[in-house]
């Protein structure tokens, strides 16, 4: 009789945790990570891809290395930049970080 009462006490005291309550913290962490990290990064990648595809001859661009140059020739993966009179540099297309307003290079040379 002594063992039966102990077994019944354990059965009444132990209950299964709710499945939603178990996974809710994980779902919340994933949602926060998605909206704070993943989504903004994907948006920046799309904007950079659009920028790279829109580059044309004559555009003044800045590279990720900080060089300013005028686009003189375009390839599928490479861009030829004129960084000074008669000086050209070949860079990969994805290395272009931004398209600068017209006249930026002229203003930079005068400074």
Residue, of 18 and 34, whose pLDDT is higher: 34
pTM for the whole thing? Answer: 0.70
Q: pLDDT at position 3, please?
A: 56
The per-residue pLDDT of the chain, averaged, comes to 87
Closest CA relative to residue 100, chosen from 51, 46, 42 = 51
Give the start-to-end residue ranges of the domains of the chain.
18-54, 56-110
Report CA-CA distances (Å) from 3 to 7, 11, 12, 14, 15. Answer: 6, 13, 15, 17, 20
Report CA-CA distances (Å) from 14 to 6, 19, 22, 70. Answer: 12, 15, 16, 73
Average pLDDT, stretch 58-87?
94
Give the H/E segment covering residue 66: none
What does the pLDDT look like over 20-29, one tens digit per residue?
A: 888 999 999 9
Q: pLDDT at position 104, please?
A: 85
What CATH number was assigned to the domain covering residues 56-110? Answer: 2.30.30.100
């Amino acid at each position: 009789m002594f063992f039966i009462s102990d077994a019944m006490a354990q059965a009444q005291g132990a209950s299964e945790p709710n499945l939603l309550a178990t996974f809710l913290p994980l779902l919340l962490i994933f949602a926060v990570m998605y909206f704070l990290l993943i989504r903004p990064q994907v948006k920046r990648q799309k904007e950079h891809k659009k920028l790279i595809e829109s580059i044309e001859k004559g555009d003044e661009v800045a590279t990720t290395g900080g060089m300013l140059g005028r686009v003189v020739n375009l390839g599928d993966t490479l861009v030829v930049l004129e960084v000074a009179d008669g000086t050209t540099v070949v860079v990969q297309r994805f290395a272009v970080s931004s398209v600068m307003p017209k006249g930026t290079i002229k203003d930079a040379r005068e400074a």
